[in-house]
Amino acid sequence: MFESTVTFLDWLGIVVFSLTGALVASRKQMDVVGFVLLGTVTGIGGGTLRDLLLDLHPVLWIEQPLYVVVCALVSTIAFFTAHLVHSRYQLILWLDAAGLALFAATGAERAIGVGAGPVVAVIMGMITACFGGIIRDTLSQERSIIFSYEIYVTAALAAAITLVCANALGIDRQVGVSAAFGVGFALRGGAIMFGWSLPRYRSRQGRAHENAVC
Amino acid sequence: MFESTVTFLDWLGIVVFSLTGALVASRKQMDVVGFVLLGTVTGIGGGTLRDLLLDLHPVLWIEQPLYVVVCALVSTIAFFTAHLVHSRYQLILWLDAAGLALFAATGAERAIGVGAGPVVAVIMGMITACFGGIIRDTLSQERSIIFSYEIYVTAALAAAITLVCANALGIDRQVGVSAAFGVGFALRGGAIMFGWSLPRYRSRQGRAHENAVC
Amino acid sequence: MFESTVTFLDWLGIVVFSLTGALVASRKQMDVVGFVLLGTVTGIGGGTLRDLLLDLHPVLWIEQPLYVVVCALVSTIAFFTAHLVHSRYQLILWLDAAGLALFAATGAERAIGVGAGPVVAVIMGMITACFGGIIRDTLSQERSIIFSYEIYVTAALAAAITLVCANALGIDRQVGVSAAFGVGFALRGGAIMFGWSLPRYRSRQGRAHENAVC
């Protein structure tokens, strides 16, 4: 039951990330091939970079091409229905938060599974969760999520760190993944609902701490 | 005869892609090292990404450094003669179309050759043909070809799909590569000559289909 | 003594490159996670790309996660003290020059060590030295160093070529690395102090050679 929930969320994450890629494509008024390109890169980009860095071959979508097919399908549907997608922007933000939290947890877990230490596992969780979006923004020359005022990469990091800690403490996998997901989703959800953010660097006064929101 | 034609076109593709990189460098008024950097990345970027993803080592230009030498040479010549290159812009567009169609076909074929399925092979054809240009545009912060109004990525996809279908139908390699090249070149050529494009997403009215040209 | 000097400079290079990433993050008014992300990518990006291309696994920071820890630490300190960092901009330029020259030399040497030929070794030196900065500029959507008016990539290339030549001539490793470092550092230093640059391509007149400074 837990396994099938994780698998379900895994596919959900891919679908949602593809949708965010398609949304950017719609903003750029691209054609259907552009939607598919950007949607697919966003959906599988993070996992691909993780697999390349960890030397895990075949990379996820070469082993399981259905991932690409689903990304392409979702992006194509989005091309014909993007007005619906836009009106559901709030929903997509939340699904994206779920995908972010889950990919950070499962990405870190996959790294641990192939023998990576805690530091590398945390990074791999962050890469899996965030680099699809980072590649999307770079390719489409949009303002990158790494500049996002609200918490984003931080939520992925927190989820990955939670997973790694739970694993180090010998906590049951089911509990660990759930806790990591919960931490990441709560942080990102707070950012969506309440505008949570970390204090930013201010150049003039050197008073970086006054503007903290969370 | 066919083999040597393909080999000739392969080198021609590398040369032409390098030239497009050098042209961007000239627009940015870079120095000769900038020309070489951008020309080389454009010439071998797509094939390099394909080899990394398929775990084919050594990657093409590490196995055959002559590729890099030729890219560097072409870019250097372009630095000293770019006014000629500019006045031959139309010719370069057509050579680029030939390189695009050929790389899509041979990229897909190389993927099939190492056991990739049809979906992965199509993607590898597209990556080989397009990602040199995509990396060029990203590094040089130019408007990316993925936003190109006219058919570009689509032509590469069509060529790769043709190659994969021909292979699946057991059609002779020579015929398959030629057909794939023909499809890709015809589509891209139509885009150059007649401005062929796919309908683009329009945000306001949700009437994405009216503006179809092809 | 020579070994420990190289190791010291190697760590110094990572620290300095991280600092340049953190400086860009401060210009973009990012939060501390943004500092760490950009600082770390800059510090280890070039070496990571080299290892991926050469199929050297585990890549440097997966084998030695301390690299990442140091990058993250340096970036975090920079977040809280960036006003100091800014006032030391001149110092950082010079440390960056040292890191550039050293990474070009050691990157080329690492490639030779795994059997790469001279062309590939030169490219790997350049990639190790420059691609951290190139990835930093691409991710942060800053004007890329590849457009830098003053000599930058050229200095890395010169250092890598010197190393490869010294190696081919059978010159002692200690002398070769020192010479390569010296050449790269002198060229980049000249660019910092005297504005050395290569002639750039001028579109109108086709007179690319008149504006040579060096």
Contact at CB, B33 and C208, closer than 8 angstroms: no
Interface test with C, best of A112, A201, A207, A210 (most C CBs within 10 A): A201
Contact at CB, B197 and A31, closer than 8 angstroms: yes
Q: In 3-state terms, what secondary structure has residue B200?
A: strand
Which residues of C lie inside 8 Å of B (Cβ-Cβ)?
A: 52-55, 116-117, 119-120, 123, 134, 138, 141, 143-144, 146-147, 153-154, 157, 197-203, 206, 208
What integer is the mean pLDDT of A172-176?
92
pLDDT in tens, C78-130: 999 877 766 777 888 898 899 999 999 999 999 999 999 999 999 999 999 99
The H helix count followed by the E strand count for chain A is 8, 0
pLDDT in tens, A94-145: 988 999 999 999 999 999 999 999 999 999 999 999 999 999 999 998 888 8
Contact at CB, C201 and B82, closer than 8 angstroms: yes
As for the ipTM of the complex, it is 0.91
Question: In chain A, what residues touch C79 (CB-CB under 8 Å)?
Answer: 201, 208
How far apart are the C-alpha atoms of B13 and B175, rounded to whole Å? 20
Alpha-carbon torsion (B111, B114, B118, B120), positive or negative = negative
Strongest mean pLDDT among A49-53, B193-197, C21-25? A49-53
Cα-based distances in Å from C24 to A109, A137, B147, C40: 32, 18, 28, 12
Residue A46 tokens read as: 């993070």
Chain mean pLDDT for chain A: 89
Phi, psi angles (nearest 5°) of residue B116:
-75, 150
What integer is the mean pLDDT of B116-123?
97
Phi, psi angles (nearest 5°) of residue C168:
-65, -30
* Residue whose entry in the numeric block shows the structure tokens 């130019």: B142
- Residue (of C20, B51, B138) closest to A136 by Cα position: B138
Cα-based distances in Å from C129 to A21, B69, C42, C75, C95: 32, 20, 10, 19, 13
Beta carbons within 10 angstroms of residue B157's beta carbon: 24
Beta carbons within 10 angstroms of residue C173's beta carbon: 14
Q: What percent of chain C has pLDDT over 90?
A: 69
- Residue (of A166, A179, A80) closest to A118 by Cα position: A166
Under 8 Å between Cβ of A145 and A156: no
Among candidates C26, C28, C62 on the partner chain, residue whose Cβ is nearest the Cβ of A147: C28
pLDDT in tens, B22-75: 988 988 889 999 999 999 999 999 999 999 999 999 999 999 999 999 999 999
Q: How many residues comprise chain C?
A: 214
Contact at CB, C33 and A154, closer than 8 angstroms: yes
Q: How many residues comprise chain B?
A: 214
Cα-based distances in Å from C187 to C65, C96, C99: 32, 13, 13
Beta carbons within 10 angstroms of residue B91's beta carbon: 12
Question: In chain B, what residues touch C212 (CB-CB under 8 Å)?
Answer: none
Question: In chain C, what residues touch B29 (CB-CB under 8 Å)?
Answer: 200-203
Under 8 Å between Cβ of C201 and B30: yes
- Which residue in chain A has the smallest CA separation from B206? A83
Question: In chain A, what residues touch B208 (CB-CB under 8 Å)?
Answer: 79-80
pLDDT in tens, C131-175: 999 999 999 988 888 888 789 999 999 999 999 999 999 999 999
Chains in contact with B, where contact means 3 or more Cβ–Cβ distances below 8 Å, are A, C
Q: What are the DSSP calls for A150-204, one per residue?
A: SSSHHHHHHHHHHHHHHHHTT--HHHHHHHHHHHHHHHHHHHHHH-----B--TT
Contact at CB, C31 and A154, closer than 8 angstroms: yes
pLDDT in tens, A14-58: 999 999 999 889 888 899 999 999 999 999 999 999 999 999 999
DSSP label at residue B31: B
Q: Is B189's pLDDT higher than 50?
A: yes
pLDDT of residue C203: 62
Question: In chain B, what residues touch C153 (CB-CB under 8 Å)?
Answer: 33-34, 37
* Residue whose entry in the numeric block shows the structure tokens 């008073």: A207
How far apart are the C-alpha atoms of C13 and C22, rounded to whole Å? 14
Interface test with B, best of A35, A62, A142 (most B CBs within 10 A): A62
Q: Is C14's pLDDT higher than 90?
A: yes
Interface test with B, best of C122, C154, C201, C211 (most B CBs within 10 A): C201
pLDDT of residue A211: 37
- Residue (of A111, A116, A122, A196) closest to A157 by Cα position: A122
Question: CA-CA-CA-CA torsion for A152, A154, A159, A163, nearest 10 degrees?
Answer: 150
pLDDT of residue B138: 93
Question: In chain A, what residues touch B117 (CB-CB under 8 Å)?
Answer: 65
Residue B32 tokens read as: 């000769």
Which residues of C lie inside 8 Å of A (Cβ-Cβ)?
A: 25-35, 37-38, 48, 52, 57-59, 61-62, 65, 68-69, 79-80, 82-83, 86, 138-141
- Residue (of A165, A171, A209, A198) closest to A183 by Cα position: A165
- Which residue in chain C has the smallest CA separation from B77? C201
> A137: which residues sit within 8 A by CB, 6+ positions away?
A24, A143, A144, A145
Residue B202 tokens read as: 């329009």
* A127-162 burial code (b ≥16 CB/10 A, e <16): bbbbbbbbbbbbbbbeebbbbbebbbbbbbbbbbbb
Contact at CB, C29 and A116, closer than 8 angstroms: no
Which residues of A lie inside 8 Å of B (Cβ-Cβ)?
A: 25-35, 37-38, 48, 52, 57-59, 61-62, 65, 68-69, 79-80, 82-83, 86, 138-141
How far apart are the C-alpha atoms of A132 and A46, rounded to whole Å? 4
Alpha-carbon torsion (B169, B174, B177, B178), positive or negative = negative
Question: In chain B, what residues touch A57 (CB-CB under 8 Å)?
Answer: 55
Under 8 Å between Cβ of B29 and C201: yes
Contact at CB, C139 and A144, closer than 8 angstroms: yes
Under 8 Å between Cβ of B19 and C196: no
Smallest CA–CA distance, residue A84 to chain B, in Å, is 9
Under 8 Å between Cβ of B29 and B82: no
Hey, which residues does A200 pair with through a beta bridge?
C31
- The amino acid at residue C191 is A
Phi, psi angles (nearest 5°) of residue B31:
-85, 180
Strongest mean pLDDT among A189-203, C22-36, C85-99, C119-133? C119-133
Interface test with A, best of C24, C31, C57 (most A CBs within 10 A): C31
Residue A193 tokens read as: 């609902």
Chains in contact with A, where contact means 3 or more Cβ–Cβ distances below 8 Å, are B, C
The strand ranges marked E within chain B are: none
Beta carbons within 10 angstroms of residue C64's beta carbon: 13
Beta carbons within 10 angstroms of residue B169's beta carbon: 8
Q: In 3-state terms, what secondary structure has residue C208?
A: coil
Chains in contact with C, where contact means 3 or more Cβ–Cβ distances below 8 Å, are A, B
Helices (H), B88-152: 89-113, 118-139
Q: Is A208's pLDDT higher than 80?
A: no
Residue C9 tokens read as: 């400079």
* Residue whose entry in the numeric block shows the structure tokens 């567009």: B93
